[in-house]
Structure formats: C-alpha cells, structure tokens
C-alpha cells in the first residue's frame, strides 16, 4: 500500500477545506439570488416558518426566562456589595438585548433546526430524491434551500425579541420575589438604559445568525454522502459548525457596532 507523505496529506486537506468554503459560499449566494427568480414557493416558506418559529417557541421562552433570572441573580450578588441593587434592571436589559438574547436564541434554534435541515436534506440526497428533482427540471436550491433560509431569518428575528422580553421578565421576577425590588422601578430602569445602539445590535445579530443556521444546515445536508452514517455525520457537523460561526460572528458584529457608534 502506498503511503501518503505528510506534505501531500496537508495539501489535500487544505484543498478540501478551500473547496468546502467555496461550495458553501456558492450555495449561500444562490439562496439569496433565488429570491429574484420565479417561482418563489411561498407555501414552502410558510410551512418552514411554522416548523422553525412556532416549533422553537417553547424552548426559546424557557431559556430566555431562566437566563434572564440567572443574570439578575448573579448581578444582584455583586451589586449588593456596593449598595447598588437598583441597577439590576439595567444590567439585565443591556445583557439580554445586546448579547445573551440573540446568541442564546441562535444556539437553541441552531441545535434544533440546523440538525433538522441537515438530516432531512441528507436523507433526500442518499435516497436520490434530489437527483429526481433535477431530472424533473426543479432546482433543488430554489425549492429546498431558499425557503428555509428566508423562514429562518424571518422567524429568528421575532424569536429573539420574544427571548429578550422573557429574559427581562425573568430578571424582574427574580428581582421582585427574591430581593424585594419594586416591579415598576425595575422596568423603568431597564427601558431607560437602552439606547439605539443596543437595540440595533440586538436586532441585526438574529438576521445574520438565521442566515448562518439555514445555509450551514442545508449545505451539510446536501453534502451528505455514505448512507445513513453520512446523514448522521452531516447532522452533527451542521450543529457544530453553525454554533461556532454564531459565536465568532457575534464577536465581530459587536466589535463593528462599537466601532461605528462608539463605546458607552
């Protein structure tokens, strides 16, 4: 058996990764340009919006509420030492709206829907349903990818808003029930601290996160090879890759917004 030198292995590995990035970029670009070509498959978009948005609602509400409560609990532990317990609302509001709300919602939706897209499309690939669609003259990217991308971006935007509201409610419940803080005071300080930059940051992130989740899930699904084992491997890779990209993108978006609007 012929042995492969480390140099050749490194070159092949780098070539495969570059090819994967190129294929992903092409798929992501086509998913956007398909919006300007008919047909639009509106029924598929509505169906995917229901599966992604309504299906993810319970986990988003629960995680948002308890993350907000945990944030208030930890903040109060520190603020009590300085006699500034009234600032809990401000810390929860800024933390949830700018960072925790978008990123927690993105990770939850990624774990639930990126894996679902990868497994569904991967199963269609290994059972040759994708080839049958091409044989019938249907563009699989336009039929399968674009509706999922649009629905994920649209629904993640509103899911993040719901998560932010639930997080603020969770922080308010902890502040009121455990620390005796006035409910109206909590909400007034929470709303007053938020500025345009905070809201803008919190609403831009879910749009980009949704695009990442859908395109990565669809890419790994359409790239699945090797039968059922390949589908399982693609599902795992989709969740891992989308989660890592969300965390990395979150950092760069925050840095870019701070550069544009300045620091507090």
pLDDT of residue 167: 92
Cβ–Cβ contacts within 10 Å for residue 6, how many? 7
CB 79 within 8 A of CB 189: no
CB 121 within 8 A of CB 216: no
pLDDT of residue 154: 93
**Those residues with Cβ within 8 angstroms of residue 197's Cβ, 6 or more apart along the chain or in another chain:** 257, 261
Which helix or strand (DSSP H or E) is residue 112 part of? none
Q: What are the boundaries of each domain within the chain?
A: 42-261
pLDDT of residue 130: 84
State if pTM tops 0.95: no
Tokens 């929470």 belong to which residue? 190
CB 151 within 8 A of CB 41: no
pLDDT of residue 161: 94
CB 222 within 8 A of CB 118: no
pLDDT tens readout for residues 29-58: 988 888 888 888 888 889 989 988 888 899
Q: Compute mean pLDDT per 10 residues along the chain, 264 residues long, and list them.
A: 65 81 89 85 88 89 92 82 77 90 92 89 86 83 90 94 93 86 84 87 93 93 82 89 93 89 67
């Amino acid at each position: 058996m012929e042995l492969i030198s480390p140099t050749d292995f490194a070159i092949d590995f780098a070539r495969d990764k570059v090819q994967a990035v190129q294929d992903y970029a092409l798929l992501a670009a086509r998913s956007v340009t398909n919006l300007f070509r008919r047909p639009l498959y509106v029924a598929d978009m509505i169906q995917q919006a229901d599966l992604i948005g309504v299906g993810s609602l319970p986990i988003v509400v629960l995680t948002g509420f308890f993350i907000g409560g945990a944030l208030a609990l930890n903040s109060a532990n520190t603020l009590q030492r300085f006699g500034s317990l009234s600032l809990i609302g401000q810390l929860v509001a800024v933390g949830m709206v700018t960072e925790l709300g978008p990123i927690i919602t993105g990770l939850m939706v990624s774990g639930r829907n990126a894996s679902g897209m990868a497994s569904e499309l991967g199963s269609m690939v290994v059972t040759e349903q994708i080839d049958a669609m091409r044989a019938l003259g249907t563009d699989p990217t336009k039929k399968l990818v674009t509706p999922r991308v649009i629905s994920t971006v649209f629904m993640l935007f509103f899911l993040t808003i719901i998560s932010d509201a639930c997080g603020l409610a969770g922080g308010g419940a902890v502040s009121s029930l455990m620390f005796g803080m006035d409910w109206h005071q909590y909400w007034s300080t929470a709303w007053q601290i938020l500025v345009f930059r905070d809201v803008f940051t919190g609403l831009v992130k879910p749009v980009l996160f949704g695009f990442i989740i859908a395109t990565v899930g669809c890419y790994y699904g359409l790239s699945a090879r090797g039968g059922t084992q390949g589908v399982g491997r693609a599902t795992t890779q989709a969740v891992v890759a989308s989660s890592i990209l969300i965390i990395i993108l979150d950092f760069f978006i925050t840095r870019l917004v701070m550069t544009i609007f300045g620091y507090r």
